[in-house]
Structure 1
Amino acid sequence: MGEARGAAPRAAALALLLLLLAAGAGYCLWRRAAGGGRRARRGPGPGPGPGAPCGPPSDNHPPESTHTMDADDLQKLIHLLQSTDDPLIQEQALITLSNSAAFSINQDIIRNLDGLSVIGRMLSDCVPRVKEKALNALNNLSMNIKNQKEIQVYIMQVCKDIESASLNSELQQAGLRLLTNMSVTSDYHHMMINSIPCFLHLLSEGNERTQIQVLKVLVNLSANPAMTRHILRAQVPSLLLLFDNCINRDILLRALMFAANLKKNVNNEDSTMLQNQHNEDSVFVTLCGDSTPFAQKLASLLHHPDTEVKEQVVRILTQ
């Protein structure tokens, strides 16, 4: 009897989800026709100029469409997410909200329906897949500047989740993607200061996918002069390994952008004073001090076949 009573609400919730999924099916058709999905929106490249923040591009946004879910559908979906403890239903509801948030009109509607706080509460869920889907939804919603003002309250929790998540896990990736969007402007950089050692640890220990995503965050942070001292004092013994001709091009290019940003900012400081404040494994000594190994790496990279890589090397050498 108890199981039968419990199954009925779940079946009703799943039925509602199916209806809402059908209402948003046009989005999936558009994404398949566009041929890119999330990759097309997130901006895999380093940005429009040398050292530019890594984040969502200004073009190639999904069109406004009559296939987007209306406010009533979104309200039902948010209420369903708020009222259920079933991880399966939570996960599917978050996926639907995440897909809906790819449309700018829905980003505003979800915020106005208090959906950001409902999704944000899912970050406290102990089920990693639910937390991951909540991060994905917030990531899409963070493409909206007004939404970022509300999402910022979760930044420190997201930083903790990245640190405690399994290395290279989908949960860790989702958190880093959200921080990439939230760090495109310098407004929220101060909330990530304590996580800089964690980011650099992931840069040393993570796989290529993790390294690329961490570097997107670090490039954004390093473009802000106010973050320079916090980054320079951090320890990362294996940092030089990223500056090699055989390294994945996306990793190498972003690592060079990271170094170029720091080098530019250090030029405005008293380098002798900075030198005395850092030990030999610090980012400063590795990249900005009198480092013969780094200079040798840069000299070798001047012969790299990729034009953008060579441009970043020249940028470092001429600052």
Structure 2
Amino acid sequence: MRESGGWSVAVRAAGLAVGAGVCYCLYRASSRRRGREGGGGEAGAKRGDARRGHEAPVSGQAAPAWLQKGSAMPGLSSRKGPENLRQEDVDLPKSSHDLEAHHIQNLIRLLDSTKDPTIQEQALITLSNSAAFSANQDIIRNLGGLIIVGKMLSVPDTKVKEKALNALNNLSMNIKNQEEMKIYITVVCEETDSAPLNSELQLAGLRFLTNMSVTNDYHYMMTNFIPCFFHMLSEGNERTQVQVLKVLVNLSANPAMMEHLLNAQAPFLLSLFDTCINKEVLLRVLVFATNLTKLTQKDKSITVHHHNEGSICSVLWGNTTECAQKLTSLLYHHDTEVKEQVAELIMQRC
């Protein structure tokens, strides 16, 4: 795909291999990478070792007022019937952690039967909070709750969609749940793309996609939306950039996604290789580039179209001098973690 000698010349020209400080960064990155071998989690994902990580459960949302002992959900009547809940059926404990299976079943039944957006939103908040606990993730799946929550993605109300995505995000921390929830990936990609830029709805969709992209199993379902992810990265604020980069880092760890990513249009990418960029954004951009570099080193048989101007391939390897100069500057970044990730990227390219 590229000549390593060309990069070496550019590195020397830019002065990347000079100074004890540079050598120290290379040593630190190498030793820490060996020490963390086999590690996982988001911290590892940012540094490029495990390369990928789950999105943390969405928590901290206030429980609705009716989630109190002795209080009933608003809008419920005492009519009996298979599709109607009684007030006494929704006498819930104060904490979502204390919800038992029959409480969760009632919430799911309510969500399935009501058309009131306010009640839908409140029920989804409670289900989302309860789904932060692993035992409840299985309970909700076994009670048929995944499909009920998923139906809320088609509700016109934006707040309901957002709360449904938060619930799906928490539920997607469970591998068995992911197998059933993969049917929502395309819908969530479309919602995320069409949502207002930097909105809570867009962020909620990206959090769900982060969890669903932790393994390679469902990456193929996101391929067509890679240009959308780069648009969000280019135009979004720092919160959006961090979130979309979590998805891109996960995708970049999969060899099957390499050509799709390298041929994607991202002429702005090198502008993020800058000391003024938010650290969390910068780290993930560097991990993303490191992952792609590792893949190209492992599989040199993959053909990428160099003539695709503005593609990631042309940005990262079309002008080695510019990239080398950017990395030279970042080697003197004030943050040690950034310097180590830059050193890791340099080692992969040399």
Q: Which residue of 1 aligns with 2:85?
A: none
Change in 2 beyond 3 A, CA 1:176/1:145: same
Of 211, 214, 218, which residue of structure 1 is paired with 2:248?
218
What is the CA distance between 1:240 and its match in structure 2? 1.2
Aligned partners of 2:45 and 2:52 also within 8 Å = yes
Amino acid at match of 1:296: Q
Change in 2 beyond 3 A, CA 1:204/1:252: same
Unaligned runs of 5+ in 1: 1-41, 59-64
Of 270, 275, 299, which residue of structure 2 is paired with 1:240?
270
For the residues of structure 2 that align with 1:218 and 1:229, how far apart are their CA atoms?
13
- Please give the per-residue CA displacement for 1:235-268, whole angstroms capped at 9, x wherever unaligned: 0121111110111000000000000001111123
Of 225, 228, 232, which residue of structure 2 is paired with 1:202?
232
Aligned residues: percent identity? 62
Q: Does 1:283 align with 2:312?
A: yes
Q: Does 1:294 align with 2:293?
A: no
Amino acid at match of 2:147: S
Q: Which residue of 1 aligns with 2:127?
A: 97
TM-score by length of 2: 0.73
For the residues of structure 1 that align with 2:134 and 2:217, how far apart are their CA atoms?
21
For the residues of structure 1 that align with 2:236 and 2:288, how far apart are their CA atoms?
17
Q: Which residue of 1 aligns with 2:49?
A: 50
Aligned partners of 1:91 and 1:130 also within 8 Å = yes
Unaligned runs of 5+ in 2: 1-40, 58-94
Aligned residue pair count? 271
For the residues of structure 2 that align with 1:48 and 1:211, how far apart are their CA atoms?
17
Amino acid at match of 2:268: S
Aligned partners of 1:142 and 1:178 also within 8 Å = yes
Amino acid at match of 2:239: R
Q: Does 1:126 align with 2:125?
A: no
Amino acid at match of 2:343: V
Q: Which residue of 2 aligns with 1:68?
A: 98
Aligned partners of 1:68 and 1:103 also within 8 Å = no
Q: Which residue of 2 aligns with 1:306?
A: 335
Flag the structure with higher helix content: 1
Q: Does 1:182 align with 2:212?
A: yes
What is the CA distance between 1:214 and its match in structure 2? 0.4
Q: Does 1:318 align with 2:347?
A: yes
Compare 291-300 and 140-149 and name the one that shifted more: 291-300
Of 222, 232, 247, which residue of structure 2 is paired with 1:192?
222
Higher normalized contact order (CA 8 Å, seq sep 6+, divided by chain length) = 2
For the residues of structure 2 that align with 1:75 and 1:57, how far apart are their CA atoms?
25
Instruction: Please tell me the root mean square deviation across aligned C-alpha atoms, in Å.
Output: 2.1
Aligned partners of 1:124 and 1:131 also within 8 Å = yes
